[in-house]
A and B are shown apart, each in its own frame.
Chain A
Amino acid sequence: MQNVAIASHYAVHLPAPDDFAAWRERARGLVQCDVPPDRVSWIEPGGTGDLFAVEGPARREKRLPVPPADAPSVRASKRFLEVAKSAALHSDPARFGLLYRVLWRLQRFPRLMEDKADPDVRRLEELAKAVRRDAHKMHAFVRFREVEEEDGTPHFVAWFEPDHHIIRAEAAFFMRRFANMRWSILTPRGSIHWDGETMREGPPARRSDAPSGDPVEDLWRSYYAAIFNPARLKVAAMLSEMPKKYWKNLPEAELIPQLIAGAQAREAQMVSSGSLDRGERPATLEGIDTAIHACRMCPIGELDNRAVMGEGALGAPLMIVGEQPGDHEDRAGRPFVGPAGQLLGEYLERAGIDRSQAYVTNAVKHFKFVWKGKRRLHQSPGAKEIDTCRWWLEAERNLVQPRLVLALGASAARGLLGKTVSITKARGQPMRLEDGTELWITAHPSYLLRLEGEAREEQARLFAADLAAVRERLRELAR
């Protein structure tokens, strides 16, 4: 074009590093004057241009060419505009040159932006992506701290260090989110302030301009430490999304090293404290007898007591399961020899069930008690203790292979079912265990011992009825 001197070089000064509108206006004029990309350098405030631009003041001040009135209008695809607006905010000093080169090429190849394999297009997309990521991290990692202003109103102030020139562009996000809050975001590239009605821009700030702490951060750190699952340590995944450069401004990040260090230890402890890695079950009742004496899988085994093995023959059609050995049983080393055992014997006899033909055992193998003076006072086993001891009960049941199992009381029922059931609801009708064995549930005879008067009569009647039903069922199964 006639008003462009051959080989002349233009240095364009932009008013602000994030001023896309200013770049757009100047770039439009240069394209209309047909100035090729290698003849323009773009200079942002505080930045240096290329060698030509700093060579002499005369050159730098050379006026930009004025496009002729009949110059064709400049065209760019929608995608270019989208990408360019973001890419212009990148801190790479070469970005405006790249933008101009792509705009220049777009006049000849209008669909250039679709060629994702083109190096210029790729670079532009990369810049835009880095800026979008920086903006996204700003939305995520700004941390406000509350200070009280002189008029008593709260003011939320944050210190943030973005990689690119995104502050002004992202102010609107924080305004929409915290519209009714007074806040400021201070950065080394400038600051923004919102008072609930208007937005103000301020000069670059230092970290010391921001408040140094906030009492709520203690709560936040507690939350951060508690929500972390030490069994799932994945440090690389965390670092890729929350790189270390952000850590210094995140109150929760100071916990990270100790959380990681403690994690493996915490997981190992959780696994081992709950671990039931007991290998194979013993293949004989004698084997189980020996093994339960050494069992310390729950705290009951640590008490001053001895394990009490079940009694009865392999292949017994009926298996009777109680709760745990009591004081008498622990001394005798045999199940159901105390008062409750004697009562059970009477009821069984009345119901016509031969106890000597049944296998009698307990859900928990050791006697749980507390000392009261010189007496050992019975304590019910906890659900976890019953579940732990279920291993032995199942081992016995697998060997004895009874046709019918009678559980006395809620602990025995849990030991067989793995869940707690209500005796009142479950009694009187058969249930199926996982392997199909029939299970009947009734009260524990010691329950009868604790009752008096009418209540005892009522429960005794129910207990007798349950045993009678079991006897009938045993006869049917024997046929």
Chain B
Amino acid sequence: MVQHTLRQKLAILADAAKYDASCASSGTAKKNSLGGKGIGSTEGMGICHAYAPDGRCISLLKILLTNHCIFDCHYCINRKSSNVARARFTPQEVVDLTLNFYRRNYIEGLFLSSGIVKSANHTMEQLVEVARILREEHDFRGYIHLKTIPEADAEIIHQAGLYADRVSINVELPTDTGLTRLAPDKNAGQIEGAMGRTKERILTAKDERKKFRHAPRFAPAGQSTQMIVGADDANDAAIIGKASRLYDSFGLRRVYYSAFSPIPDASAVLPLKSPPLLREHRLYQSDWLMRFYGFAPGEVADAAEADGNLPLDIDPKLAWALKFRASFPVDVNRAPRELLLRVPGLGTKAVARILAVRRHRSLRLEDVARLTASVAKVRPFICTVDWRPTLLTDRADLKGLVAPKVEQLELF
């Protein structure tokens, strides 16, 4: 076998990890290194230490322990039948890299995942070992996210949660049939079973800490998951439905969507085209609508077009407003928070500002303009003391007035 230098291994195993979307380092228990022996702190807010030209934040050292894998999932660059360079880190090498990067303030911590070698249990033990060395031998108090392997024993996964801030298990695909077809070695029941057990553990640990101050924490930043968009034929309505079920059943912090992007040496059964980034963006927007704007999953699905997919040219909130025009205009001086949140162009912050200001005086259109990013977008859907969108919401060409302009092509 070829012997790689540390730098080559890092390049191979970071390359193999980049298809995982999550890089969050926020929302965990507050801790710092005062009074300890090592380094590290987490203060609630995540920090993005760099941005790659793909616009994604680099917060954690996101690598695989190894990209050798006995599984053969079609969408995955590391599948058994893929012809990529393979490498393997020892746990100590990962520990040293993490600490060396952390000391120089390059990262918030480590996001460690792995291909499956020998067995699920063996692999999971190796991942836990890295976290153990960091926490116990180096008193590292930065952020650790461990990807857990649903096929591994519950006891080892439990160990992972004791060292990590966050654990995650990927559901991979929005439908069970997609999973059977594209990830033949994985099993939807097993994945959801593991997520269910993790949820129980997180709840139990929280409960115990209420009673005993020194009860061990278990994954204080919760659990998350990831779904690949565009590798199978599930439409947006199905994806949103699945995400909402996952939030409800497993108390997930986040469901990440990853636009399936062409991978080197791709399997022949997959669509090879540029990743559907805009679709991924619309799904994140709909995720936001459910988490922060009080939309029910069914309502978001109502905003979809006949084929069950969200429109790509306008955002889902605007799409919903255009479909349900009877709910508008909303009176910014009287409407409750829930209704204000439905207005396209009003975000949660703008709504909070409106609620604060209107305690003192009635809002005019120019006040709204000062409180929001774009009054032109909001105007057709609200009324103020001096403004009423007469007939505007009845106009058939309303979409043309509020939708973002399509960029005109250059003359050739």
Binding site for B on A (CB under 8 A): 111, 114-117, 122, 136, 139-146, 156, 158, 173, 175-181, 214, 216-220, 222-238, 241-242, 250, 252, 256, 259-260, 263, 267, 270-271, 273-276, 382-384, 387-388, 390-391, 418-420, 434
User: Quick one: given A218-B7, A387-B268, A387-B269, are A144 and B53 in contact (CB under 8 Å)?
Assistant: no
Chain B residues in 8 Å Cβ range of A238: 51-55
Q: Provided the pairs A179-B34, A231-B262, A384-B83 are in contact, do residues A158 and B105 lie with their beta carbons within 8 angstroms? A: yes
Closest to B9 in A: A222
Would A144 and B272 be within 8 Å (CB), given that A181-B39, A226-B15, A384-B267 are in contact? no
A139–B353 touching, CB < 8 Å: no
Q: Which of B41-49, B126-134, B168-176 contacts A (4 or more CB under 8 A)?
A: B41-49
A229 B268 Cβ-Cβ under 8 A? no
Size range of the chain B interface in the assembly: 35 or more
6 contacts between A and B (CB under 8 A): A227-B52, A237-B51, A238-B54, A270-B266, A384-B267, A419-B72
A474 to chain B, nearest CB (A): 28
Do B101 and A141 touch across chains, with their CB atoms under 8 A apart? no
Taking CB atoms, residues of chain A closer than 8 Å to B104 are 143-146, 156, 214, 216-217, 220
Q: Which residues of B contact A179 (CB under 8 A)?
A: 32-36, 39
Q: Are B53 and A256 in contact (CB under 8 A)?
A: yes
Q: B286-327 CB contact bits vs A (8 Å, 1 = yes)?
A: 000000000000000000000000000000000000000000
Give the Cβ gap from A232 to chain B, nearest Cβ, in Å: 4
Known contacts A139-B47, A226-B10; decide if A232 and B262 are in contact (CB<8 Å): no
Which of B80, B104, B274 is the most central at the interface, judged by chain A CB atoms within 10 Å of its CB? B104
Nearest residue (CB) in B for A125 is: B353
Determine if A275 and B10 form an interchain contact, defined as CB atoms under 8 angstroms apart. Answer: no
Docked complex Cα distance between A234 and B57 (Å): 12
Q: Which of B50, B267, B277, B367 contacts A224 (CB 8 A)?
A: B50
C-beta contact mask, B1-39 vs A, less than 8 Å → 1, else 0?
Answer: 000001100111011011100000000000011111111
A242, B50: Cβ atoms closer than 8 Å: yes
Q: A252 to B51, alpha carbons, bound, how many Å?
A: 10
Q: Tell me whether A391 and B268 are in contact in the complex, defined as CB-CB below 8 angstroms, given that A114-B356, A156-B103, A231-B275 are known contacts.
A: yes
The reply to whether the CB of B404 lies closer than 8 angstroms to some CB of chain A is: no
When the two chains form their complex, are residues A177 and B41 in contact, meaning their CB atoms are under 8 A apart? yes
Which of A141, A234, A271 is close to B262, meaning CB atoms less than 8 Å apart?
A271
Is the pair B7, A219 in contact by a Cβ cutoff of 8 Å?
A: yes
Q: Is the CB of A225 within 8 A of B11?
A: yes
Q: Do A259 and B53 form a contact, CB below 8 Å, given A143-B106, A180-B38, A218-B7? A: yes
CB interface residues, B 91-111, toward A, < 8 Å: 97, 100-101, 103-106
Q: Which residues of B contact A225 (CB under 8 A)?
A: 11
CA A180 – CA B40 in complex, angstroms? 9
Q: Which residues of A contact B265 (CB under 8 A)?
A: 274, 384
- Interface residue? B376 (CB, 8 A): no
CB distance B272 to A271 under 8 Å?
A: yes
Q: Is the interface of B mostly helix, strand, loop or mixed?
A: loop
Contact B103 A390 (CB under 8 A): no
| Given A122-B370, A176-B41, A241-B51: A219 in contact with B10 (beta carbons within 8 A) | yes
How near does chain B come to A365, taking the closest CB pair, in angstroms? 14
Given A141-B49, A144-B103, A387-B269, CB of A116 within 8 Å of CB of B57: no
- Please, how many angstroms separate the alpha-carbon atoms of A227 and B63 in the complex? 9
Distance (Å) between the CB of A206 and the closest chain B CB?
A: 21
Other A-B pairs, 12, CB within 8 Å; known A219-B101, A232-B277, A267-B262: A114-B357, A143-B106, A144-B104, A173-B43, A177-B41, A181-B39, A225-B11, A227-B18, A232-B261, A237-B56, A275-B272, A384-B81
- Complex: how many Å from CA A273 to CA B157? 39
Q: Is the CB of B100 within 8 A of A384?
A: no
Contacts of A267 in B (CB 8 A): 262, 274
Bound complex: CA A180 to CA B33 (Å)? 7
A391→B74 CA distance, assembly (Å): 16
Residue in chain B with minimal CB distance to A230: B54
Task: Flag whether B184 is at the interface (Cβ < 8 A).
Answer: yes
* Most B Cβ at <10 Å: residue of A142, A177, A234, A236: A177
Contacts of B57 in A (CB 8 A): 241
Smallest Cβ distance from B34 to chain A, in angstroms? 5
A216 with B357: CB separation less than 8 A: no
Interface residue B263 (Cβ < 8 Å from any Cβ of A)? yes
B48, B51, B74: which contacts A418 (Cβ < 8 A)? B74
Known: A117-B357, A156-B104, A234-B55. A227 touches B62 (CB 8 A): yes
Measured between beta carbons, the chain A residues less than 8 angstroms from B357 are 114-117
Q: Contact at A241–B19, with CB atoms within 8 Å?
A: no
Q: Does B360 contact A (CB under 8 A)?
A: yes
* Contact A276 to B268, CB < 8 A, known contacts A145-B104, A419-B72: yes
Kindly state the separation between the CA atoms of A387 and B83 in the bound complex, as whole angstroms: 13
A223, B14: Cβ atoms closer than 8 Å: yes
Q: Is the CB of B268 within 8 A of A271?
A: no
Given contacts A222-B10, A383-B81, contact A178 B100 (CB under 8 A): no
**3 cross-chain pairs, A with B, having the tightest CB-CB distances, nearest first:** A237-B55, A234-B55, A383-B81
For B262, what are the chain A residues with a Cβ–Cβ distance below 8 Å?
231, 267, 270-271, 274
Whether B100 and A216, one on each chain, are in contact in the complex, defined by CB atoms closer than 8 angstroms, is: yes
Taking CB as reference atom, which chain B residue is nearest A136? Answer: B47
Query: Is B214's beta carbon under 8 Å from chain A?
Result: no
- A234 and B53 contacting across the interface, CB-CB below 8 Å: yes
Cβ of B58 under 8 Å from chain A: yes
Contact with A along B206-225 (1 / 0, CB 8 A): 00000000000000000000
